[in-house]
Amino acid sequence: MKRTNENIVSSFFYYMWNRWSKAECETVFGSMAGHFWAKWCGLSSTTLSGAAERFYAELGNNARNKIVERACELYDGQRFVTERKEDESQIDVCECCGGRNIAPDPYNDGWNTRTWCPDCEEEHYGTNLKEYKETIDAWWDSLDDDTADQLSQGADDRKAWWRSLSFDRQRALYKENFWTKNENNEDDDDKTTSRHTDMRALAHDPWRCSVCGSLSVECRTWRDVNTGESAAGDDSIEYLCLDCENDNVIPESEYLQRVEEWWNGMVENERAKIVYAHCGKIEHTTEGAFSQFWQTCSNKQKIDIWREIIYPDYDAND
């Protein structure tokens, strides 16, 4: 489009009137979105009339350039231009609220990937926007008829109703009805059992056998048959590894510490054997080359290598 002054002004106002939202604020201002969204809310709290003008007047030159550039990207005057599609797999968001304004946890120990979400005001794991959208769609599809009917207020086509919602509304429903309710339910249960009903942790830090590291582990929880309440105490849960029949489990992140200590304490010749077995002879057989190989392995690959050597009788591909 030809960016005349008139065209730029029209693009800005049509963008603010039709597209401006918290999600757009995050797109435009990134990590500073919280500051600018609070400013917008303060200026528009009394009336939306004139809010766009007041907001622009409060911005510095750099912020003005960012929001005008975004407006002209989406609007040619009053005409909406097809938005350039983002690579959603590269956009980091909070697994709970889907907000983009997440920050790395300063206490990251190398394998714990929890992040601080200022929107939720608590720690959560991060995910990417593509996976987050797939997760909330799967959550909606998994709801029983009564719950879906209640949330959609009796819509005839509940799937179409869900798809008609804005992303902001979808993620708000997801957080309120999946995360908040699950957290409240966990507070009511005994702490020794809540960790096994927390679906969120499974994808990020699954439970493994504390001996052989297998993922093939099960638990049995005892409940009062009259009240349905969980029995209290450590004896209320029984664990079983289906590979080695051990009766205890630990998080993968904790098990990985053991694997890392094993690798770091290994002599060079032993490391060379492992590297050759997994990727053939490497050009430079140096300590740096072995370390690089190890760093490129995923957590699962590291544990599988450990299991192949320490527990060769058990299948590493569980």
With beta carbons less than 8 A apart as the criterion, state whether 7 and 1 touch.
yes
Same domain for 137 and 180, yes or no, is yes
Regarding whether 16 and 80 lie in a shared domain, the answer is: yes
Q: What is the pTM of this model?
A: 0.37
159 with 130, same domain? yes
Q: Are residues 79 and 18 in the same domain?
A: yes
In a domain, 280, yes or no: yes
Query: Would you give the DSSP letter of residue 219?
Result: E
Neighbours of 33 (CB within 10 A): 21
| 258 in the same domain as 240 | no
Helix (H, G, I), strand (E, B) or coil at 190: coil
Same domain assignment for residues 217 and 265: no
The reply to whether 241 and 261 lie within a common domain is no
Residues facing 94 on adjacent strands: 126
73 and 162 inside one domain: no
Can you give the residue range of the structural domain that contains 124? Answer: 89-188
31 plus 69 within the same structural domain:
yes
Cβ-count burial 118-152 (b if 16+ within 10 Å, e if not): ebbeeebbbbbbeebbebbeeebeebeeeebeebb
Q: What is the pLDDT along the chain (318 residues), one digit of tens a residue?
A: 567 888 899 999 999 988 899 889 988 988 888 899 999 988 887 666 788 999 999 999 989 999 999 998 888 888 887 655 667 888 888 888 988 877 654 444 444 456 778 888 887 788 888 899 999 999 998 888 888 888 888 888 888 889 888 788 898 899 888 887 665 554 544 443 333 334 344 445 788 888 888 888 887 777 666 666 655 554 556 788 888 888 888 888 888 888 888 888 888 888 888 877 776 544 444 556 777 778 888 888 888 888 888 887 765 445
Domain count for the chain, please give it: 4
